[in-house]
Amino acid sequence: MRIYRSVLIAVTLLMTAGIFTVSQAQQMIYEPKNPAFGGNPANYSWLKNSAQTQNQHEETRDARLARDPLQDFQASLQRQVLSQLTRDIVRRQFDLEEGEVMDESRFEFGEFTIDLQPGVDGVTVLISNIMTGEETSITVPSF
């Protein structure tokens, strides 16, 4: 019992001493590492080298210049023709008088064939890829 009492007194004295000790603190100050956000300009080369080391993407200069301008032109022309055709289909479909029906049409360019088939519900646009045989059907409703 005597040992227990001694341990209790010692623990109480240590806790009391801990409460009354002077604690010191300092103010935390944020200092950015990146020079773009106000950090030390000497960190620039370290940050750049670190980023380049972690970069998994490899793009060679020759790969960017290897694009064929004629293929780019052909793709751009196909996009423009499809866009114009879309505008014409929608404009004709919505400008029709009641009871009037759009004519059946067929357009061929490049590797695509586009068939316009008027129906009761509207105009069905059937887009076929001649090279792969894939077909897509879109119905533009009539109102």
> Going residue by residue through the chain (143 aa), what tens digit of pLDDT does each one get?
678 788 788 778 777 766 656 667 778 888 888 888 888 888 888 888 888 888 887 766 665 567 788 888 888 888 888 888 878 777 776 666 665 666 777 888 778 888 888 877 777 888 888 889 899 888 877 66
Backbone angles phi, psi at 56, to 5 degrees: -90, -15
Q: What pLDDT score was predicted for residue 21?
A: 61
Q: What pLDDT score was predicted for residue 101?
A: 60
Q: What pLDDT score was predicted for residue 74?
A: 80
Tokens of 80: 């423009």
Tokens of 90: 């929608």
The helix/strand/coil state of 140 is strand
Looking at residue 42, the DSSP 8-state letter turns out to be: T
The full length of the chain comes to 143
Q: What pLDDT score was predicted for residue 47?
A: 87
Helix (H) or strand (E) holding 50, with range, is helix 43-54
Q: What pLDDT score was predicted for residue 100?
A: 61
